[in-house]
Amino acid sequence: MKKLIPFAFLLSMTISAYCQTTATDFTATDCAGNSHNLFSELNSGKVVVLIWVMPCGACISDALTAQTEVQNALTANPGKVLYYLADDFGTTSCLTLNSWCSTNGITDPAVFKSNAIKMSDYGANGMPKIVVIGGNNHTVYYNAIAPNISATGIKDGIDAAIAAINSNTNTATGINESTSLLDELVLYPNPANTSTELKITLQQSEKLKVEVLNQLGQVVKEVYAGQLSKGNHSIKITTSDLATGNYFLSISNGPAVRKEQMIITH
């Protein structure tokens, strides 16, 4: 036992040296031209799932696994989880990265060609590498390199990050998400191709705003803004002008917001 104690101490020192427990900030512009600041996203109550790829054939499976876990988390937590995909050293062109994602069914992430997003900030380099980060304390809840990446690990990391955010009022987004705004809401068909229909039942006359948001919470389509009477209403939403992917339908009356996941496939 006496021989094991120094070894265990050395092992713990090695782990702490290479497994960073808090994130490193960066500001980077994605391949769609949108600027992102990591700490701003985290401070607003978001969870970020970040994967580095080469891109390469060996990266496809884990990128799809991460995408699935992000989609699953967004079903229960609309708008709270972001998926980032970064080139390993920021040397691959956006054209190549986007083509690789499209070819392999990786449709959800914000894609980055930026050497500001460094794998080395989270220990050893490797392909692919995934971290899950959350909260205004910028905690790393999951950090793995293939072949040690697992769907369970990603899910548990996301769940832990969301639980910590929900229990910490300092990370509140300031948006009051309410299910009491509507008596009933149906979005059909969902997934949608060229259009879908929102059917709602209001408890009272309301001035509503209906918008389509992307996964970053940005408004990509304004659907309706105006006064609706108490009772049943149907609003058609044209989706043919939106790219295939996951979105959120936001219905708000000012103080209260209701969000529903909306999937578009063409």
CATH code of 96's domain? 3.40.30.10
For residues 39-45, give the mean pLDDT.
86
Whether 138 and 159 share a structural domain: yes
* pLDDT at residue number 225: 93
Residue 80 · residue 46 · CB < 8 Å: yes
* pLDDT at residue number 20: 60
Whether 162 and 212 share a structural domain: no
Residue 117 has a CB neighbour count (10 Å cut-off) of 23
For residues 51-56, give the mean pLDDT.
94
Confidence grade of residue 6 (pLDDT, cut at 50, 70, 90): very low
Confidence grade of residue 217 (pLDDT, cut at 50, 70, 90): confident
Quick check: is 13 in a domain?
no
Whether 126 and 198 share a structural domain: no
Looking at 144, 171, 198, the residue that finishes a domain is: 171
For strands 182-188 and 219-228, give the pairing: unpaired
pLDDT digits (tens, 9 = 90+) for 128-158: 999 999 987 899 999 999 999 999 999 999 9
Name the average pLDDT for the chain: 84
Quick check: is 139 in a domain?
yes
Task: Give the domain range for residue 215.
Answer: 176-264
Over 90: is that where the pLDDT of 91 sits? yes
Whether 35 and 150 share a structural domain: yes
Whether 190 and 151 share a structural domain: no
* pLDDT at residue number 17: 34
Report which of residues 159 and 259 the model is more confident about.
159
As for how many domains the chain has, the answer is 2
CA distance 187 to 183: 14
Whether 86 and 29 share a structural domain: yes
Residue 56 · residue 90 · CB < 8 Å: no
Is pTM, for the whole model, over 0.75?
A: no
- The fraction of the chain above a pLDDT of 90, given in percent, is 51
Quick check: is 39 in a domain?
yes
Looking at 118, 149, 171, the residue that finishes a domain is: 171
Confidence grade of residue 239 (pLDDT, cut at 50, 70, 90): very high
Quick check: is 14 in a domain?
no
Confidence grade of residue 183 (pLDDT, cut at 50, 70, 90): low
